[in-house]
A = this chain, B = another copy of it.
Amino acid sequence: MEKHDFVTIADLSKEKIEYLLGMAQEFEKHPNREILNGKVVATLFFEPSTRTQLSFQTAANRLGARVIGFADAKTSSTTKGETLKDTILMVSNYADVIVMRHFIEGAAQYASEVAPVPIINAGDGAHMHPSQCMLDLYSIYKTQGTLENLNIYLVGDLKYGRTVHSLIMAMRHFHPTFHFIAPKELAMPDEYKLYCDKHGIEYHEHTAFDEEVIANADILYMTRVQKERFSDLMEYERVKNVYILRNNMLANAKPNMKILHPLPRVNEIAYDVDDNPHAYYIQQAKNGLFAREALFCYCLGISLDDVKNDTTIIGE
């Protein structure tokens, strides 16, 4: 089977998304295998992201691959004066697939053009974080039983949050209704509203965030409102406690409603929400393991049928 890069969610077809979710489902049934035995995965983190790195490393290890790499290029010698091209070509000599996080937008796309081995984008600047999007989709699919015709509420920093932007693009195939809930300074950029218009996606904008507004939500996707994003600190002081989800706001939520968050959270979800059955953000992170196992196989040319017929399952 053909090898693939995984650089952006924007050009993934409906069929490809459903295919990858089907593969994640197989890995959830049996996460521990030797299907990547003999493979080496490189995790190149040009900026640190311990959480994402741990998730990819776990996925590689649970499939029997070995992991090399670095956690922070600034404290390593890899890139001293060396071009990204040379670094990628060098690592391509050693690894069968490269997972990379880079602080420059488009770095993963560029790497995919020069590397002889597949590239998985683990975040490039404020641009894309497509593996996070895959686990968000898988979490929605698992909890709702479908991706079709859902009411999805995005809350918080909709201006800079790359995960919410990716989610809009990925959901274009599935007839969602979006609600954008944000302070004016962090409102959804026009670019993504035009994207919705172009793809016939219904959306509504709100600045209020309370029990009433979210009563019809199937998915409530929380993100953090960061002080440093505001040019007007008075405005920050005015809104900082507005976009916090509290347990008493969930009394009238639909039974199927689930709360997602890309993590880490600081205070945008109160701790008394954690034990509410609507809370799903910790399980959501676990879905990242299965989604990333699927991505490794997809990128290395292992098909869904290969996974279904796999006999290397461990510990059962």
Count of interface residues, chain A, beta-carbon cutoff 8 Å: 50
What mask results when residues 280 to 294 of chain A are scored 1 for a CB within 8 Å of chain B, else 0? 001101101100000
Whether A51 lies near B71 (C-beta < 8 A) is no
Q: Is the interface of A mostly helix, strand, loop or mixed?
A: mixed
How far is A65 from B91 in the complex, measured between Cα atoms in Å? Answer: 19
Say if the beta carbon of A173 comes within 8 Å of chain B. no
Whether A91 lies near B54 (C-beta < 8 A) is yes
How far is A289 from B96 in the complex, measured between Cα atoms in Å? Answer: 13
Whether B58 lies near A94 (C-beta < 8 A) is yes
How far is A49 from B70 in the complex, measured between Cα atoms in Å? Answer: 11
- Shortest distance between the CB of A248 and any CB in chain B (Å): 21
Say if the beta carbon of A37 comes within 8 Å of chain B. yes
- Known contacts A76-B48, A90-B282, A93-B289; decide if A68 and B54 are in contact (CB<8 Å): yes
Say if the beta carbon of A255 comes within 8 Å of chain B. no
Whether A37 lies near B315 (C-beta < 8 A) is yes
Say if the beta carbon of A89 comes within 8 Å of chain B. yes
Could you say which residues of chain B place their CB within 8 Å of the CB of A50?
Answer: 70, 76-78
Whether B89 lies near A282 (C-beta < 8 A) is yes
Say if the beta carbon of A22 comes within 8 Å of chain B. no
How far is A283 from B263 in the complex, measured between Cα atoms in Å? Answer: 41
Q: Which listed segment binds B: A79-87, A174-182, A211-219?
A: A79-87
